[in-house]
Amino acid sequence: MTRTKVLRFVLLLTLVLALAFVVQAWSYHYLHYGFYGKGILLNYCFNYTIALLFFGVLLIYKDRKPERLGYVFLIASLLKFLLFFLIIYPSLGDNHSVRSPQFFSFFIPYLVCVILEITSIIRLLNGK
């Protein structure tokens, strides 16, 4: 049963992130922001990979220590930001002043992943 829920999460995450990627890439093209210069592809791949890894960790804790799941989720969120500042942030430029397109290149896939993670974990905990 959990296997189908994991597969459902992976497919949903893939489809929703792909749709968000297409919309955001088209918007950047339409607004003449450029595509690869903002690291949009790197940000989507980063968030996708991290969401899959942390969802797996949350599943492990759901079965072993469900009372600590909230703390694990908070720690995972902190780790995401730490990894962002170690991996993604240095590639944003020399002056480290983040502009709106760069911010949204990270924040949109991050937000999509967090929303999908939260709703999927809630469904798992409720047994749906």
Indicate the number of domains in the chain.
1
- Tell me if 48 sits within 8 A of 13, measured CB to CB: yes
Question: Which residue range(s) make up the domain with 83?
Answer: 2-126
Confidence class for position 99, pLDDT limits 50, 70, 90: low
Model confidence at 97: pLDDT above 70? no
Residue, of 99 and 125, whose pLDDT is higher: 125
Numbers of helices and strands, H then E, in the chain: 4, 0
Q: How far apart are CA 7 and CA 77, in angstroms?
A: 22
Q: What is the arithmetic mean of pLDDT over 25-35?
A: 76
